[in-house]
A and B are shown apart, each in its own frame.
Chain A
């Protein structure tokens, strides 16, 4: 999501599930949508049936998606950047890109400062010692006096982004793609032909991706390459276009929106760091300013940051938040280091916050986990098990007894290097919690739609809903602070908790809070005699959010979901007046019930849709009509750039905010199978390597190709859902157990037969399972050398019905991650393969 935000301004699926039916080409890459999103994938099928759309599947494995695709091409796991840059190069050299779109809606015409350069695998500004980039070397060139950006609308300036991109990708010829990815040239060209057929106003194509792109040490760069491709083809902001991130859970989009990771607060506001000691400094740091008002007007919507933040603080601390106390900013927890998944476990394992400046503080002593199964999730499950055993206490809220809850049972964990039970002091509390069908609430799907769901049945036995467990915990902690005091008691005591039933809050009330309301009468800024919203009323949307303490709003991005008209997430009206599947009266789609983000880019300079049969929004002379405009509704074409969340108002072919490079470059995985064909001295991503080196416990071992020559990848199956459906027998029946997919020739070489046993070993250990010998994994020649790849699904573990337990797939995966999002590299690592026999795990 970091890449989409860095490119377009917001980190989510640009279009929506239903909109995929409007595409002429559907590139499914980095996802296996037919298997993992079967219901959403129906729209790709719909496009095929009704528009004759072509489905293109690019995947290391021939999957169930490939089986219904019109074009399939294999590639070696982890080489997606090379493939995508190859497509961009093809589009430019064959003149199959949408030049007019690039000129008006992207930063292609922008000029980059003279310090920028790219040499032998490194961008300018690399600091060897820290492994980080000084990103000022990637900044736009600006007039020193006026601060206005330099722009060449002809895109001829040698330092303009279009020219830099052209030069950057010219190395990715079809021959180079074949050398790196192993994709035979003719198969690559077939894909290139179909995908770039949309590089014009008449046609439009979409991309469906998921964890197959994010879970790499170059995950963000892969997505950046895809976003760049779509901007070059002019496919963003248009019905049937976009870069569509398919989320891996029914509500993961909602979780991310509501502060799913440590570095963000609800609505993607930055978690303050310790050095930002007051609200003013914080806001100055995070609110982007527009540099180029004069030459290139932009809306720079993030200039409203203070409103979003103050209203969030009002929602958090209620009446206690006042102007005098900076709306309670001091009470907000601040960060001092990296608290992403792998770092939390690294701290836990090493018993010290090793990655925080100073590094002397002890690691966490307690851990609360809900709807998470760290032992299964990994990576490097052996380390996860060891880390948990260092805790004093752990709370697990789940609807099954999951592997994490019994990590202390050495009979089950010995195979993963788990310590003897007698040496583990961790006290484990297991709380039975309700499953998704046993509670109300919303799911926010990949398409950013908030859809209310109603409880189907009561939770069994003593199981409680998550909100009840959390509420009771909070109230008990509040009580303790009241009775015994403690450091910064205001942080807890001032937290507003005004639900009708405080021990089991109604989620409808929580949704109202997320939407926000007026705390005083709100006056019309244009005419102060008019009241636009009375005190106590629900806000109509984030346009009404204020920074003077007169509004509260739990998540500005979701504002508009629960207005005076009621809970809009409950709407189920399937009216579709223009037939494009926007369904504005079905649920609520953030932002502002907009169904296609950046829809201004779906029209040309005059506001006419690129393709009149598929308009996103149209300028009718007075206002924008069609979808909810991603634009000031009455601002005539030419007033503002189409990407209102980006300070410069355009989509970014070159994104200076990324940590590992402003344009995507091919790097091998941290566990690389071969030297980088483009720059052997810089084989994996240097920033990713620096990060992996921060994990330096005895458990963080990496394998090398001389000892572990086979590339391995992991994935999910249609029949199962993460690590808990192996507790569900109807699904076990459909996929009864773990297996390892092995190409036919490799199996033959190793003496492995279909249905027999195979053993996989990585630098972390070994697992064993049933061999699935298949033609669907192909022999790929990499730079003249045979490199094999195999794979296995992730769904099993040691808990549940013994007939349906299986090895922890993530016992195999390394402590390597993406340097922007810290997402683990689950999709490419090194192993050896041999015939199995004795059970290993």
Chain B
């Protein structure tokens, strides 16, 4: 699937001129994840696979409830399970839904040399256009959340699209539809931030003084906002404490991006350079065969 036609684009990778037309303003949408009431049922994992027509992956029991070690090219939505000692007598089993965070300032897009391969729509969703993706793998170091993966078949970057095809026609993303506890919500970001603030207050009243909404400013905020009981320890959930777009990437973007031609050239060199140095980007090799198609 290419980028959604007729959907207003805010920003595009390696664009000649900035972003979209800015003719139509749309509110920024967001996915809300309340980790404090996620029961790790994995309904969202299956819903994501089914809606996006992703083939099944091969997994293996290696001593965890987690489906596989990390995201995979055909698995864009993963519940991470972590056992954490929270203090001398405290213990928590923290479950967090991991997927693309849809950064307001997406490092992947900034790093991508292929024009239009990664786009950010006016509503904040960051999407990949596999037709334009050249499989160079530069988006991977650009992403502070370790999200981009590359498909085995055609070596294209693949990740959560926030179900932009559903959102375009007024539906919520598939994971949200499937979630039985209501710990996932979808809507415009400002109202979900308000909901998050309300829930954080509840958690604080319940004794979780450092409960917080994770919406890291280092990447301009994200369109996936996450309520954490232990807001002072995002790393307990597998989230970076202060994520930001890597300097090399932001430099590339700030300095080179506006210069369309140079960007184009760089894109090509980048791709060739990568190809010569490493060969085609391989699918991530997770524990044993985990994550591969079956």
Residues of A within 8 A of B (CB): 34-35, 38-39, 41-42, 45-46, 48-49, 52, 62, 64-68, 70, 718-719, 729-730, 732-739, 754-756, 770-776
Shortest CB distance A719–B (Å): 6
B180 & A39 in contact (Cβ 8 Å cutoff): yes
A67 & B46 in contact (Cβ 8 Å cutoff): no
Known: A46-B182, A774-B83. A739 touches B40 (CB 8 A): no
B83 & A775 in contact (Cβ 8 Å cutoff): yes
> Across the interface, which residues of A come within 8 angstroms of B205, CB to CB?
52
Report the nearest A residue to B205, measured CB to CB: A52
Shortest CB distance B287–A (Å): 9
A66 & B93 in contact (Cβ 8 Å cutoff): yes
Residues of B within 8 A of A (CB): 36-43, 45-46, 49, 56-65, 67, 83, 85, 91-95, 180-183, 199, 202, 205-206, 294
Shortest CB distance B120–A (Å): 31
Known: A39-B180, A755-B63, A770-B61. A729 touches B91 (CB 8 A): no
A45 & B61 in contact (Cβ 8 Å cutoff): no
> Across the interface, which residues of A come within 8 angstroms of B38, CB to CB?
68
> Across the interface, which residues of A come within 8 angstroms of B93, CB to CB?
62, 64, 66-67, 776
> Across the interface, which residues of A come within 8 angstroms of B85, CB to CB?
775
> Across the interface, which residues of B come within 8 angstroms of A772, CB to CB?
61, 63-64
> Across the interface, which residues of A come within 8 angstroms of B199, CB to CB?
49
B39 & A65 in contact (Cβ 8 Å cutoff): yes
Known: A52-B202, A734-B45. A45 touches B183 (CB 8 A): yes
Shortest CB distance A18–B (Å): 13
A67 & B95 in contact (Cβ 8 Å cutoff): yes
Q: List 27 A-B contacts (CB under 8 A).
A: A34-B41, A38-B41, A38-B180, A38-B181, A39-B180, A41-B39, A45-B181, A48-B37, A49-B37, A62-B91, A64-B95, A65-B39, A66-B93, A67-B92, A718-B39, A729-B294, A734-B45, A734-B59, A734-B67, A737-B60, A754-B63, A755-B63, A770-B61, A770-B63, A771-B63, A772-B64, A776-B91
B contacts with A: majority SS: loop
Known: A739-B61, A770-B62, A775-B85. A730 touches B39 (CB 8 A): no
> Across the interface, which residues of B come within 8 angstroms of A773, CB to CB?
63
- Set A42, A719, A733: member contacting B182, Cβ < 8 A: A42
B91 & A775 in contact (Cβ 8 Å cutoff): yes
Determine the distance from Cα of A48 to Cα of B61 in the docked complex, in whole angstroms: 33
Determine the distance from Cα of A181 to Cα of B199 in the docked complex, in whole angstroms: 35
Shortest CB distance B108–A (Å): 26
Q: Which 3 A-B pairs have the closest CB atoms?
A: A755-B63, A34-B39, A754-B63
B206 & A68 in contact (Cβ 8 Å cutoff): no
Determine the distance from Cα of A735 to Cα of B83 in the docked complex, in whole angstroms: 18
- Set B37, B42, B49, B58: member contacting A718, Cβ < 8 A: B42
Determine the distance from Cα of A719 to Cα of B44 in the docked complex, in whole angstroms: 12
Determine the distance from Cα of A46 to Cα of B91 in the docked complex, in whole angstroms: 24
- Set A64, A733, A737, A776: member contacting B40, Cβ < 8 A: A64
Scoring B39, B180, B294 by chain A CB atoms within 10 A of each residue's CB, the highest score goes to B39
> Across the interface, which residues of A come within 8 angstroms of B206, CB to CB?
70
- Set A35, A733, A734, A735: member contacting B39, Cβ < 8 A: A35
Determine the distance from Cα of A371 to Cα of B115 in the docked complex, in whole angstroms: 57
A719 & B183 in contact (Cβ 8 Å cutoff): no
Shortest CB distance B40–A (Å): 5
> Across the interface, which residues of B come within 8 angstroms of A736, CB to CB?
59-61
Known: A64-B40, A64-B93, A776-B93. A734 touches B46 (CB 8 A): yes
- Set A729, A770, A775: member contacting B56, Cβ < 8 A: A729
A68 & B180 in contact (Cβ 8 Å cutoff): no
Determine the distance from Cα of A729 to Cα of B40 in the docked complex, in whole angstroms: 19
> Across the interface, which residues of B come within 8 angstroms of A67, CB to CB?
39-40, 92-95
Known: A41-B181, A64-B40, A67-B95. A738 touches B59 (CB 8 A): no
B46 & A41 in contact (Cβ 8 Å cutoff): no
> Across the interface, which residues of B come within 8 angstroms of A771, CB to CB?
63
A42 & B180 in contact (Cβ 8 Å cutoff): yes
Shortest CB distance B52–A (Å): 14
- Set B36, B59, B61: member contacting A68, Cβ < 8 A: B36
Shortest CB distance A11–B (Å): 27
Determine the distance from Cα of A109 to Cα of B271 in the docked complex, in whole angstroms: 85
Determine the distance from Cα of A738 to Cα of B36 in the docked complex, in whole angstroms: 28
> Across the interface, which residues of B come within 8 angstroms of A65, CB to CB?
39
Known A34-B40, A49-B202, A70-B206; 6 more pairs at CB < 8 Å: A38-B181, A733-B57, A736-B59, A739-B61, A755-B62, A776-B83
- Set A49, A718, A737, A776: member contacting B61, Cβ < 8 A: A737
Scoring B41, B60, B206 by chain A CB atoms within 10 A of each residue's CB, the highest score goes to B41
Determine the distance from Cα of A469 to Cα of B56 in the docked complex, in whole angstroms: 35
> Across the interface, which residues of B come within 8 angstroms of A48, CB to CB?
37
Determine the distance from Cα of A45 to Cα of B38 in the docked complex, in whole angstroms: 9
Shortest CB distance B43–A (Å): 7
Shortest CB distance A805–B (Å): 12
Determine the distance from Cα of A734 to Cα of B45 in the docked complex, in whole angstroms: 9
> Across the interface, which residues of B come within 8 angstroms of A739, CB to CB?
61, 63
Shortest CB distance B213–A (Å): 16
